[in-house]
Amino acid sequence: MQFWKIPTTLALLLIILSLGTTVLAEESPADDSDSTLAASELILMERSPRVEVGANLRSDFGVHALRFDAAYSAEHFRVLLTLDPWFWTDGQSSTDLLGFYRTSGLEPFLGWRLNAIPAVDGAQLQHNLLLGTALRFPDFWGGRISGQWGFETALMLYKHGGGVPSNSISFASGRHYLDFINFGMFARFHYNISLGGR
């Protein structure tokens, strides 16, 4: 199997899902008054506190291609936890904790990822700083479904354990940091549970 094809295939899948989400979101009600009311309700729901659960699809090799999200969102921020259920398949797991600044379009974020990788003697732990931005899709299905598409950079600051010598990122030369930087593209699709109020 040609593994280089996996990120390309996932990237195409993410783009197709993104376009499909946008098309569904653009379906409009029958008349202008209904449309205005629906838009106002969606804006209120987007800004109200809510819990979100859903799927996280990725195009890079740094973590498993499918993971699951749980988030709390308010008007201008979102805190998101991503969990990896596939550790039983290969012993590898990754957990993300992200903070987003919410706008009407782009949502820059900062976060932390902990990878556990099988090594010589147990698991090697890898600590990553995450930086990126996400483009929000319009909510649809009455505001119950939302999505994001974006890019991230993962900087592995330190790795240790597993019987392997500890190591940290260095910018002394290209060979010191190229293996510590990973770029990825992702899409998230969430089911939203409104907590009410603004």
Q: What is the mean pLDDT of the chain?
A: 79
Give the pLDDT confidence score for residue 93 in this predicted structure: 92
| pLDDT digits 0-9 by tens, 135-179 | 988 887 777 899 999 999 999 999 898 888 888 777 666 666 677
- Enclosing H/E stretch for 14: helix 5-25
Question: Which has the higher per-residue pLDDT, 41 or 104?
Answer: 104
Give the pLDDT confidence score for residue 177 in this predicted structure: 67
Give the pLDDT confidence score for residue 59 in this predicted structure: 82
Domains and CATH numbers, the chain: 5-194 (2.40.160.20)
Give the pLDDT confidence score for residue 140 in this predicted structure: 79
Instruction: State the pLDDT confidence band at 91, using cuts at 50, 70 and 90.
Output: confident
| pLDDT digits 0-9 by tens, 21-43 | 445 444 444 445 455 445 455 55
User: Is 173 exposed, middle or buried (CB count within 10 Å of its CB: 0-12, 13-18, 19+)?
Assistant: exposed
Give the pLDDT confidence score for residue 165 in this predicted structure: 82
CA distances from 179 to 58, 95, 160 (A): 19, 20, 15
